[in-house]
Structure 1
Amino acid sequence: MLARTADNLFWMARHIERAENTARILDVAHRSALLPLDIEGAEAYLWYAPLNITGCAASYEVKYGLARGDDVTRYMALDPDNPSSIYSCLKLARENARAVRGAITSEMWEVINSTWLELNRMTWNMDIDKFPDFFDWVKDRSHMFRGVTLGTIIKDIALSFVKLGTFLERADNTARILDVKYHILLPSVNDVGGSADYYQWGSLLRSVSAFEAYRKIYRDVISPLRVAELLILRDDMPRSLHACMNEVEMALIDINGNSGREARRRAGRQHAALHFGSIEDVVAQGLHEYLTEFLDQIALLGQDIRAAYLSRRDQFEPVQSRWNGMQMQ
């Protein structure tokens, strides 16, 4: 397969997954905004979280200044000037799909194209109370694309690059969402176990479609330790880090190019750490430190994949956040 074809397939899938995950991040922020947060400047403190997760806090501040719910939501959802907005991600996904029409099925193209056309019928001045429905729409379109892809495409190397982009992006975003819960939504250990804490963890689980899975597996009240275990180590949870790395490693094995040895080595090492790790190991290292290290390894893996298989630099790579307290102006 030509490098430019692999590149477009990889980024087509990655941008669709990124749009879905941005919708999930904003959804959990909207849910959390309904709960009390007993700190000074609570609104700005809360709404800097999605900006820092996606690495666009600096560009937002240039345009809007202090973080406010309405402005952050519009900037991350529909602003064409923000390269990580849902609008920009779906635009880039369509451009990549159009470049490889011969490598994808007509049904895949129709889903992406119709999504883009429908998005453009939505207005910038969408009422703020309509955004939860918009987030659900983005998630539904992403689910539809994956379903159509698996139901129509030949299971060859093209599908491997689609999976590689999807699950690399998903792993990155699951780690970011989990990290922000510990360091933004729950800034004080004194809040652990309170009613707000319970609902925050519930909103986090719902944001990654894991609430029912948690109830089925643990059959107990929501425990932060078990939530971390579910989203990091359980390989039967579709959005967990372990499950994502299962798919990434298998995709790289299926591609099996001689130039991809370093990428396969790094992915295999990360997968083994998740496969044989325990939640006690994670806690001993520190959850934030563990997730930061994981994000570093995912970034390096992306660089290895780009060097081995792809034809150009990443179209947009979010800046990894370092949670050392909120930096608010």
Structure 2
Amino acid sequence: MLGRTANSIFWMCRYLERAENTSRLLDAGFRMSLTRASDSASEEWRSVIVTLGQVEHYDTLYDSYTGPQVCNYVLRAPENPSSVLAMAEMARTNARVARSSLTMEVWEAVNEGWMTLKDMLSRPVRESNLGAVLATIRRETTLFRGASYGTMLRSDIYQFARAGMFIERADNTARILDVKYHLLLPSLAYVGSSLDSSQWDQVLRSLAGDRAYSWLNAGQMDPRGIAEFLILDARFPRSLRFSYEQLSQHLTELAREYGEESPAHAVMRDTRDWLAERTIQDIFDTGLHEFLIDFIDRNQAVANAIAEDYRFIT
């Protein structure tokens, strides 16, 4: 496969995964804002922008953090190159480049998803229809995943697509957990103190893990347990551990497809094994923030190695 095509497939999936994570983050922020006084609600909305890493750019455009302002900036603002609408368009652009490598169902899922979002986000989003907009984003990305899983040949095309998805998912999980952890922790004291359970529920909702965690823990909100669930539980499809187990499988298939491993495989294995060897006690002894920053750097190194080894050309 041409490096340019591989790059397009890889990034098509990264953009769609990022769009879904962003919609989930907004949904969690919206739910929390409804339970807060106006001053606290603005902090909830600011935490969304902080988590997305867009504070500096946002502050050049606005001087406050209100729900409609934040939502429209994140979802559709022309000034925001990282808006959900921009991500959907970039995913479609990459899909067009790799059109001949995609099934009809996958192309239609990406193209129709983009058209749906373009129409829906052509008008300012209001609080009254925010829930419907966010649900539509999640539905369109789910349709794409279903189409790719159900129709794509398990060739190098599929492996690059899934590798991109899990690289992006791991990055989003780590960033959301890191930023939310610092926003929620009242001091640098050791984790384990009693915190507002609804705030930790927001962390889980941001990563679609609230129901699964509740099933496993009888509804008890424990910061340490939540961190362990999102980092090390290999059963949860958005945990760091799960993402790297899946990434390992897809890179193994790429090696089988091309007849040899590349240096990226060694970089990936190093991070996968590093994760597998950690316990939650090890992580907190090191420092959760330090661990997550280390992981984000390692994850980026894996992505860079894949791009270099498979000659991604933009």
TM over 0.5: yes
8 A Cα contact 1:32 1:185, kept in partner? no
Alpha carbons 1:175, 1:295 under 8 Å: kept: yes
Q: Which residue is 1:19 aligned to?
A: 19
Mapped pair 1:308 → 2:309: yes
Deviates more, 1:149-158 or 1:24-33: 24-33
Q: 1:233 to 1:60 in 2, by over 3 A?
A: same
CA contact (8 A) 1:107 1:148 kept: yes
Q: Which amino acid in 1 is paired with 2:296?
A: L
**Residue equivalent to 2:141:** 142
Please state how far the C-alpha of 1:220 moved relative to its aligned partner.
Answer: 4.9
Secondary structure at 1:145 match in 2: helix
Kindly indicate whether the alpha-carbon contact (under 8 Å) linking 2:241 and 2:275 is maintained by their aligned counterparts in 1. yes
State the percentage of identical aligned residues. 34
Counterpart CA distance in 2 for 1:86 and 1:9 is 18
CA distance in structure 1 between the partners assigned to 2:211 and 2:50 by the alignment = 28
Verify the 8 A CA contact 1:260 1:309 in the aligned structure 2. Answer: no
TM-score (norm 2): 0.91
Please say which of residues 52-61 and 244-253 is displaced more in the overlay. 52-61
After the TM superposition, which of the residue ranges 200-209 and 134-143 deviates more from structure 2? 200-209
Preserved contact between residue 75 and residue 82 of structure 1 (Cα < 8 Å): yes
Given that residues 108 and 148 in structure 1 are in contact (C-alpha distance below 8 angstroms), is that contact kept between their aligned partners in structure 2? yes
Q: How does 1:1-329 map to 2 (within 5 A)?
A: 1-36=1-36, 42-122=40-120, 123-188=122-187, 192-194=193-195, 197-256=196-255, 261-312=262-313
CA gap of 1:121–1:287, structure 2 versus 1, over 3 A, is same
Q: CA deviation at 1:44?
A: 4.7
- Tell me the CA shift for residue 260 of structure 1: 6.3
How many angstroms does 1:154 deviate by? 0.4
- SS of 2:24's partner is helix
Matched residue, 1:318: none
Aligned equivalents of 1:226, 1:214: Cα separation in 2: 9
Q: How many residues are matched? A: 309
Q: How many Å apart are 1:37 and its aligned residue?
A: 7.6
Aligned residue identity for 1:121:
D
5+ residue gaps in structure 2? none
Kindly indicate whether the alpha-carbon contact (under 8 Å) linking 2:232 and 2:241 is maintained by their aligned counterparts in 1: yes
Letter in 1 for 2:8: N
Q: Could you say what the CA RMSD is over the residues aligned between the two structures, in angstroms?
A: 2.2
Please state whether the residue corresponding to 1:252 is helix, strand or coil: helix
Aligned 8 A contact 2:233 2:241 in 1: yes
Shift of 1:204: 2.1
The range that moved more, 72-81 or 234-243, is 72-81
Distance in 2, Cα, partners of 1:193 & 1:293: 27
Residues 246-294 of structure 1 show CA distances to partners (whole Å, capped at 9, x for unaligned) of: 1112222222258963321121111112222111111111111111111
What is the deviation of 1:177?
1.2
Q: Are the counterparts in 2 of residues 46 and 185 from structure 1 also a CA contact under 8 Å?
A: no
- Runs of 5+ unmatched residues, structure 1: 314-329
> Does the CA contact (< 8 Å) of 2:17 and 2:168 recur in 1?
yes
Worse-matched range after superposition: 8-17 or 296-305: 296-305
Kept in 1, the 8 Å contact 2:3–2:310? The answer is yes
Opposite residue 109 of structure 2, the aligned amino acid is: V
* Structure 1 stretch displaced more, 171-180 or 125-134: 125-134
